[in-house]
Chain A
Amino acid sequence: SYVLIQPPSLSVAPGKTARITCGGNNIGSKSVHWYQQKPGQAPVLVVYDDSDRPSGIPERFSGFNSGNTATLTISRVEAGDEADYYCQVWDTSSDHGVFGGGTKLTVL
């Protein structure tokens, strides 16, 4: 089965840039989606199809996908961005949804 690997945690100072990675075998050939989950809340889609943003998501959130790594970039990080972030793909070979293990973003 397809596996997605994320770093468990990342700390960033306010105003700086956070880059959260998601590794997978030839992930660049797949569409990668990213979700933000704050404590006690349901996940929210922040980037889909590698780099598209749903309406209402700030431009500070962007994505890139190539080779074996996809990256979610959050520019000018704010205290309100503190959350768990999950990458996700649909594995068409098995018809299974796959999530990464999640990255806890801490804003210092």
Chain B
Amino acid sequence: EVQLLEYGGGLAQPGGSLRLSCAASGFTFTDYVMNWVRQAPGKGLEWVSLISGSGGSTYYADSVKGRFTISRDNSKNTLYLQLNSLRAEDTAIYYCAAGPRVNEYHFDYWGQGTLVTVSS
């Protein structure tokens, strides 16, 4: 059974940092690209970042580029998102999502999400 378990969310101050993690199991981790997708309270889904199976390629939404860093440790089947210079508008549930290595990515498996709240 595929499982994605996010953790590391919580309360952070504006300008502060957090590190999110996503532990994967039930599938061959390196065969999948991994993503972070977020959802602000009462709002829609927003794609945040993608990392290739090897970790050699990364992509970011314009809203987080230069502030967030995606990475993965394939020896630990774990995905990360380092959030720096946090803003109030970064408040959201952050989901990790796995998808196949195709040209036009989609997201087959999702975790239950971890809540990030940015407030003073």
Taking CB atoms, residues of chain A closer than 8 Å to B106 are 31, 33, 45, 48-49, 88, 90
Q: Which 6 A-B pairs have the closest CB atoms?
A: A97-B47, A33-B106, A31-B104, A42-B110, A90-B104, A102-B44
Chain A CB within 8 A of B45 CB: yes
Chain A CB within 8 A of B27 CB: no
Q: Which of A1, A43, A54 contacts B110 (CB 8 A)?
A: A43
Contact B59 A95 (CB under 8 A): yes
19 contacts between A and B (CB under 8 A): A33-B107, A42-B95, A45-B106, A48-B106, A49-B104, A49-B106, A54-B108, A86-B45, A88-B106, A89-B104, A90-B103, A90-B105, A95-B59, A96-B59, A97-B35, A97-B61, A97-B105, A102-B44, A102-B45
Chain A CB within 8 A of B31 CB: no
Docked complex: A28-68 residues within 8 A CB-CB of B: 30-31, 33, 35, 37, 41-45, 48-49, 54
Chain B CB within 8 A of A79 CB: no
A71 and B95 CA atoms in complex are apart in Å by 25
Closest chain A residue to B112 by CB distance?
A42
A89 and B47 CA atoms in complex are apart in Å by 10
Taking CB atoms, residues of chain A closer than 8 Å to B110 are 42-44
Most chain B beta carbons < 10 A, residue from A30, A35, A42, A100: A42
Contact B47 A45 (CB under 8 A): no
